[in-house]
Copies of this chain bind each other. A is one copy, B any other.
Amino acid sequence: MHTRTIITFIVSFIIISLSFLSLSANDQDLLGQARKIFGSLPEVMPAEKNPITPEKVKLGKILFYETRISIDGTVSCARCHPIGLYGADGLKKSIGNNCKINPRNAPTIFNAAAQIAAHWIGNRTGVEDQARQSVIGPAAFGMPSYEAVEKRLIQLGYTNLFKAAFHGVRNPVTVDNFAQALGCFERTLVTPAPFDAYIKGDTRALTEPQKRGLKTFIQIGCGSCHSGAYFGGQTYQKFGVSEPYWKYTKSAAIDAGRFEVTKQESDKYVFKIPVLRNIEKTPPYFHDGSVDDLARAVWIMGKTQTDAALTDSQVKELVSFLKSLTGVISEQVLIIPLLP
């Protein structure tokens, strides 16, 4: 009886040890693959043309909440990109001045500044350009001209804050500088997530289902577009490679996508690959917010982009993995500024 117990114990020990070794080898393998495709978030997203300074970030954060530079006094950056909702508004399409509906779903502004362009169809060169054009966007701030915005900024008492952020400049209160300040603020909006700990080497930062999801994510080719530290934002791609996207999204209208910008036939239904950071927290999904449920969005992606009908367990694991991209918003960022 005693000998038997000892033998059972030894055998169990050997089996468990072997399984740990093999798990560890699998883990190392997966991590190695992941490191070739993805990366961890930087502290901030720097920009050569718009160096980050504390003064610009401070000004940008205050301007982010300024509604009085919109035609009806109700639109600020924060209206469509509420910080507490991970920088997206949860609506199918955002609502701008005088409750006008915007053409597409508002993407998050977290982890967004390092993309090739801004907006779903890439019709803004970056976050600065997006901020600048928003103020005169008919369904956004709706102001009649840049001059009108600049006049209001001066009337609102922003001059000293602009002077501090752009010192040595004679007339610093310009929409260009407004855009630079907002861009700087946005470049600080990073949300480190469990995945970042994982990719740095802490393989326990992901659960087993999440690791299986990551493996599937790589194997079926999601990572070929949703790559890098941001899981997207670096390329354009047709939505609906194997079949039209609207067959599955039940979109109310067909959006020609980047065709609207380039007028090239090959750009029909082409959109910028969205960043997947915090995707769990930013429904509804796709350019028109046509899909509410992340699992459904994942299944549609599998179907339209890779012609794979994902199984329920694959979808579940992929969703589980995507949740490892949900990061933390710093306390500092969550504080509403009160000035000027």
Pick the 10 closest A-B CB pairs, nearest first. Answer: A73-B336, A65-B73, A90-B99, A155-B338, A74-B78, A74-B79, A72-B82, A89-B99, A72-B84, A67-B67
* Interface of chain A residues 52 through 66 with chain B (CB within 8 A): 65
A91:B83 contact, CB within 8 angstroms: no
Complex Cα gap A78–B68 (Å): 11
When C-beta atoms are compared, the residue in chain B nearest to A62 turns out to be B68
What residues of chain B lie closer than 8 Å to A220, measured between beta carbons?
none
A98:B73 contact, CB within 8 angstroms: no
- Asked if A152 lies at the interface with its beta carbon under 8 angstroms from chain B, I say yes
- A67, A71, A84: most-surrounded residue (chain B CB, <10 A): A67
A65:B68 contact, CB within 8 angstroms: yes
What residues of chain B lie closer than 8 Å to A73, measured between beta carbons?
65, 76, 78, 83, 336-337
Shortest beta-carbon distance from A107 to chain B in Å: 15
Complex Cα gap A87–B28 (Å): 61
Chain A interface (Cβ within 8 Å of chain B)? 65, 67-68, 71-74, 76, 78-79, 82-85, 89-91, 95, 98-99, 152, 155-156, 336-338
What residues of chain B lie closer than 8 Å to A79, measured between beta carbons?
74, 79
What residues of chain B lie closer than 8 Å to A71, measured between beta carbons?
84, 336
Shortest beta-carbon distance from A304 to chain B in Å: 28
What residues of chain B lie closer than 8 Å to A155, measured between beta carbons?
338
Query: Which residue from B68, B76, B338 sits with its C-beta under 8 Å from A74?
Result: B76
B156:A338 contact, CB within 8 angstroms: yes
Query: Which residue from B67, B83, B89, B336 sits with its C-beta under 8 Å from A65?
Result: B67
Shortest beta-carbon distance from A66 to chain B in Å: 9
What residues of chain B lie closer than 8 Å to A89, measured between beta carbons?
99
- A73, A85, A91, A156: most-surrounded residue (chain B CB, <10 A): A73
B67:A76 contact, CB within 8 angstroms: yes
A98:B74 contact, CB within 8 angstroms: no
B336:A68 contact, CB within 8 angstroms: yes
Query: Which residue from B67, B76, B85 sits with its C-beta under 8 Å from A99?
Result: B85
Shortest beta-carbon distance from A211 to chain B in Å: 33
Complex Cα gap A74–B74 (Å): 8
Query: Which residue from B78, B98, B152, B338 sits with its C-beta under 8 Å from A85?
Result: B98
Complex Cα gap A152–B85 (Å): 22
When C-beta atoms are compared, the residue in chain B nearest to A335 turns out to be B73
B99:A82 contact, CB within 8 angstroms: yes
What residues of chain B lie closer than 8 Å to A156, measured between beta carbons?
338
